């Protein structure tokens, strides 16, 4: 029974990861989810149910569409596997607090969608921010009754500790930081609290700097402009959510 639950969590993570790919493709294009069945993005052939097994269909089809033989982007299995891993991490890190585990699992799914939509469009949909805020209320409201590891004001400080400085920088620079990034930091900060938000932002800045340097080496100075901020921030926030408390405990043992 002990091994059955993690296996189920992983499988459900893969299934939800497949749905995340639908969200990543359709949300920026304003395609209603009920308007059409899943289809190949190259030939637009409707996919059969046996084409839609998360991760495994990609492997069995050799990474190509069954109908037009065009290559399927490796992004699809990457998103599915990443979501399954995040869900499994949420289970192991937060059990037996299964509410925190569930909220963090859903947060990770939303952040994966935010990451790839921002990569594609340089925009963060407001709907994703609203979902994160709803999840954050699931952490913030119980804090009034001492049902979380933080008190209520730590979540409020978390909402402001990065978003407010980013907002000031945006005002001073005339748009050096996007409004979507500011809203993302506010919403995730309300979920994580101030300590993990600051740590996650530090991780995000480091990831962003590494990515920027890598692209500048590959493409020259123009590579720097190719990096949206949300992917590095979401990676930093997820890392902080899963291992941040252990890092902080190691740095500040008192």
Q: Residue 92 contacts by C-beta under 8 Å, 6 or more apart in sequence? A: 6
pLDDT digits (tens, 9 = 90+) for 23-39: 999 899 888 665 567 77
Nearest CA to 152 out of 196, 187, 194 is that of 194
User: Among candidates 112, 129, 85, which has minimal Cα distance to 242?
Assistant: 85
**DSSP symbol at 97:** -
Integer angstrom CA distances of residue 100 from 130, 180, 232: 18, 25, 23
Instruction: Determine which of 71-80, 206-215, 223-232 has the lowest per-residue pLDDT on average.
Output: 223-232
Cβ partners under 8 Å of residue 103, min gap 6: 135, 138, 139, 191
pLDDT in tens, 89-125: 999 999 889 999 999 999 999 999 999 999 999 999 9
Q: Is the pLDDT of residue 215 over 90?
A: no
Residues 6+ apart with CB under 8 A from 110: 128, 131, 132, 135
Q: Average pLDDT over the chain, rounded to whole?
A: 88
**Domain residue ranges of the chain, discontinuous segments joined by +:** 1-95, 123-254
pLDDT recorded at residue 203 = 96
Q: What is the dihedral of CA 178, 19, 212, 218, to 10 degrees?
A: -140
Per-residue pLDDT tens digits for 159-182: 999 999 999 999 988 767 888 999
Above 70 in pLDDT, residue 186? yes
For the entire predicted model, the pTM comes to: 0.91
State the pLDDT at residue 212. Answer: 84
What average pLDDT does the segment 209-232 reach?
77
Give pLDDT, residue 178: 84
DSSP of 177-198: S-HHHHHHHHHHHHHH-HHHHH
User: What single string gives the DSSP state of each residue in 119-131?
Assistant: HHHS---HHHHHH
Do residues 124 and 110 make contact, with C-beta atoms less than 8 angstroms apart? no
Indicate if the pLDDT at residue 220 is higher than 80: no
């Amino acid at each position: 029974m002990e091994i059955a639950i993690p296996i189920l969590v992983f499988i459900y993570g893969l299934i939800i990861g497949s749905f995340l790919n639908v969200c990543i493709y359709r949300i920026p294009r304003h395609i209603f989810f009920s308007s059409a069945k899943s289809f190949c993005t190259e030939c637009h052939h409707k996919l059969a149910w046996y084409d839609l097994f998360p991760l495994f269909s990609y492997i069995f089809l050799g990474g190509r569409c069954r109908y037009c033989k065009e290559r399927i982007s490796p992004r699809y299995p990457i998103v599915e596997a990443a979501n399954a891993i995040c869900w499994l991490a949420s289970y192991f890190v937060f059990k037996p607090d299964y509410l925190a585990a569930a909220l963090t699992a859903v947060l990770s799914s939303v952040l994966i969608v935010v990451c790839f939509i921002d990569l594609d469009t340089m925009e963060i949909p407001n709907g994703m921010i609203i979902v994160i805020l709803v999840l954050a209320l699931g952490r913030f409201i119980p804090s009034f009754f001492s049902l979380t590891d933080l008190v209520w004001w730590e979540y409020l400080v978390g909402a402001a500790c990065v978003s407010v400085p980013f907002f000031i920088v945006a005002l001073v620079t005339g748009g050096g930081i996007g409004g979507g990034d500011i809203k993302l930091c506010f919403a995730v900060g309300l979920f994580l609290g101030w300590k993990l938000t600051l740590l996650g932002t530090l991780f995000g800045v480091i990831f962003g700097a590494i990515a920027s340097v890598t692209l500048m080496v590959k493409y020259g100075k123009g590579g720097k402009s190719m990096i949206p901020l949300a992917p590095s921030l979401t990676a930093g926030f997820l890392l902080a959510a899963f291992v941040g408390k252990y890092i902080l405990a190691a740095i500040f043992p008192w």
